[in-house]
Structure 1
Amino acid sequence: MNLVWKTMTRQLHFIHLAYGVRIHAFVLMSNHFHLIARAPEGNLSEAMQFFMSETGKDLRDWSDRINRTYGSRFHRSLISSPLYYLHAYKYVYRNPIEAGICKSVEDYEFSSLKGLLGEGPIEVPIFDDGNWENWESRTQTLNWLNTQPDRGSWEQVQKALKKEVFKLARQNNRPSVLENDAL
């Protein structure tokens, strides 16, 4: 994982500089990664194609593999509102907890959150999204990230992230309860 992390963070720096991609959150899991980013120049597909191609080459070289590294091209979901962004943000950083790897978001080693919190080097070029300014304190933000949402809400966000445009499903012809709540 350390080698994969170094490869990924190096290429994230490159796409940040070469493509102008603004990275807001990154979490590396053992078999996938989560990235929240935006591309003001409208070139996210090109940047991600480069990122996955270069990280794939490096990982194949280091592991003496000849097959593809990734099962498919990347999947993206357009996040169109600040509330939806908060749902996705919490989903990304809580993923290691939900997988049973750690007990709190700040404990996971392969996350851009460590650098953002000042608990390690900033290895991922994080673009300030103002997300941490909306909270009274760092403790409050971490409490929010570490609070487990109910299973139904978590599954709604998970399904919304699989769509081309992040959209919470309506329930009984009414908006989701998550439309007014950031989990």
Structure 2
Amino acid sequence: MKDSLFMGRKKFVCHTELPYHITARCINRDWFSVDPEQVWRVMTTHLHFIHLAFDLRIHAFVLMNNHFHMIASAPQGNLSEAMRFFMSESGRDLRTLSNRVNVTYGSRFHRSLLSNQLYYQHAYKYLYRNPVKAGLCARVEDYRYSTLRSLLGLEKMEIPISDDSHWETWGSRFSTLEWLNTDPGQDDWEKIQKGLRRSVFRISPYKNRPSHLEVDAL
């Protein structure tokens, strides 16, 4: 039997400059079993804490019915530690609120490194369009459990968002919002979805890449 079969998981070395798309899902893909407002309060409280305690830079966050999506970067190289704390503490609080006996999350979080601006944009649009794709709202800004509403000044929230530079890079908030509300099409959506399952995000090349995927088109 090969020695490699006895080797442990390859050690994760966190990139300190590039962001990651991060997601985690409830065990057995169940609902959180708690009122969404309560889940949102739990999430925002602990996201605020890991920002302060671990210096985690949160660029975007969306809470869905049984999972969450986040884009974050860890300048201190401590993404794993920050996420372990976040999932442990939020999971404990949600178990208490729902009287669950078993664990809240089905497994450890999944991360996908976003190695350039275009890949960041793919993940960013995928994250904020998730509620629209799920039929929970008609436009991205209408979804209640999303950091986008804070960026747009529609409401205040505890999560400190490190995102101003991205708005400035992409142009006006109005043009960025219209871009987010433009459906990329099913084929492109599936390519992005598949790419985010990788530890380093990448997608297959396009023969004729649509203009809505171009950086300069924003």
Same topology, TM > 0.5:
yes
Aligned residues: 180
Equivalent in the alignment of 1:42:
77
1:87 alignment partner, one of 122, 130, 135: 122
**3-state SS of 1:36 partner:** strand
Q: Would you say 1:157 and 2:186 are equivalent positions?
A: no
**1:74 correspondence with 2:106:** no
Q: Which amino acid aligns with 1:181?
A: E
Q: Does 1:25 align with 2:60?
A: yes
Within-5 A mapping of 1:123-162: 123-162=158-197
- Aligned-pair RMSD on alpha carbons? 1.8
Which aligned segments of 4 or more residues in structure 1 are displaced greater than 6 angstroms? none
Q: CA deviation at 1:181?
A: 2.3
Distance 1:89 1:170 in 2: 19
Q: Does the Cα contact within 8 Å between 1:115 and 1:123 map onto a contact in 2?
A: no
**What's the TM-score, normalizing by structure 2?**
0.78
How far apart are the structure 2 equivalents of 1:178 and 1:80?
A: 20
| Alignment-derived partner of residue 214 in structure 2 | 181
Is 1:113 aligned with 2:148? yes
Give ranges in structure 2 of 5+ residues lacking alignment.
1-35
Shift of 1:131: 1.5
Percent identity between the aligned chains?
58
Tell me by how many angstroms 1:123 deviates.
2.6
Do the aligned partners of residues 178 and 158 (structure 1) sit closer, same or farther apart at CA in structure 2, a change above 3 Å counting? farther
Q: Distance in 2 between matches of 1:181 and 1:158?
A: 18
Question: Could you tell me which residue of structure 1 aligns to residue 42 of structure 2?
Answer: 7
Go from structure 1 to structure 2 and tell me whether the alpha carbon gap of 1:62 and 1:153 turns closer, same or farther (over 3 Å shift): same
- Does the C-alpha gap of structure 1 residues 129 and 158 become closer, same or farther in structure 2, counting only changes over 3 Å? farther
Deviations 1:4-36, CA, capped at 9 Å, x for gaps: 000000000111000000000000001000000
Q: Which runs of 5+ in 1 are unaligned?
A: none
- In the alignment, the residues of structure 1 paired with residue 40 and residue 154 of structure 2 have an alpha-carbon distance, to the nearest angstrom, of 17
CA contact (8 A) 2:83 2:109 kept: yes
Q: Is 1:132–1:141's contact at 8 Å kept on the other side of the alignment?
A: yes
Q: Is the 8 A contact 2:44 2:157 kept in 1?
A: no
Conserved 8 A contact 1:16-1:125 = yes
User: What's the offset of the Cα at 1:100?
Assistant: 0.5
